[in-house]
Amino acid sequence: MTLDIRHDAIRRAGRTVLEAGSITVGAPAALAIVGINGSGKSSLFMQLTDTLSSRGSAVVTLDGRSATLAYVPQSPGLPDWLRTERIADMYGLAFDALVDAMPGLHLAEIAGQRASTLSLGQRQVLAIAIALGRDADVTFLDEPFSALDFRRRLGTMELLRERRDAGRGVVLSSQAASDLIELCDRFVVLRDGRYIFNGRRQDLAADADVREVELRLLHLLTMPA
């Protein structure tokens, strides 16, 4: 299984926020996107999932065919006036089925609630459940663990491992190296609107020690241009 990602330069507000890029990932297709705030990670995710208004094109293929995509933004935009069941229904999903299929996300705790009453972590876990429930070829997750409690982080990580091992693509952004090395074998590092590293985790750091990975990433993100 091969995941291919290609995109033109991404421009926002009249400036280029990320150069054109091409990434190829073999099985298991779990890809980490790393960068400091403002490096272009979210713009990349939105461009690839066609949620960013931009003139540049983007293509995501899995084994040579156009891939179906799902996207979890860092701050999910949910209709405040709708209840959780209705929000799931908007995506053609049954909320009760998500509860049963994803027990590690503890969705039953937010059943029947309006989005306006949900905490940031609860909104985030609902968006994750909906994205995974769509069973897309590739799921993009932008800082998905930033507001999750300990239980839901572990539940989400297990679901992502299952998808990766089943031959689905996972593209993940996180500021925590522990999240990335737990799931991803391929790392892409962005800095100042450019790709500065694109390779295997073993090429980034000799072993999976979190501190070593953090130090290597820090060097890439702060070394003189």
Q: What angle do CA 200, 134, 165 make, to 5 degrees?
A: 35
Pairing mode, strands 58-62 and 138-142: unpaired
Helix (H, G, I), strand (E, B) or coil at 32: strand
pLDDT of residue 14: 80
Q: For residue 105, count CB atoms less than 10 angstroms from its CB and return exposed for 0-12, middle for 13-18, buried for 19 or more.
A: buried
Q: Alpha-carbon distance 214 to 66, whole Å?
A: 34
Matching residue, tokens 């990670």: 41
pLDDT at 225 exceeding the cut of 70? no
Q: What is the pLDDT of residues 74-113, one digit of tens each?
A: 889 899 999 999 999 999 999 999 999 999 999 999 999 9
Q: What is the pLDDT of residues 35-81, one digit of tens each?
A: 998 888 999 999 999 886 666 789 999 889 999 999 999 889 899 99
Q: Give the pLDDT band (50/70/90) at residue 11.
A: confident
Note the Cα 14 to chain centre separation in Å. Answer: 26
Q: Which residues pair with 187 in a beta bridge?
A: 32, 199
The dotted CATH code for 2-218 is 3.40.50.300
**Whole-structure pTM value:** 0.93
Instruction: Give the DSSP letter of residue 86.
Output: H
Helix (H, G, I), strand (E, B) or coil at 21: strand
pLDDT at 224 exceeding the cut of 80? no
Residue percentage of the chain with pLDDT more than 70: 96
Residue-wise burial string across 166-190, b where 16 or more C-beta atoms lie within 10 A, e elsewhere: eebbbbbbbeebebbbbbbbbbbbb
pLDDT of residue 209: 81
Question: Are 133 and 88 in contact, with CB atoms under 8 Å apart?
Answer: yes
Q: What is the pLDDT of residues 152-182, one digit of tens each?
A: 999 999 999 999 999 899 999 998 988 999 8
Q: Which of 11, 31, 18 is nearest to 191 (CA)?
A: 18
pLDDT at 188 exceeding the cut of 80? yes
Q: Residue 207 is encoded by which pair of tokens?
A: 């072993």
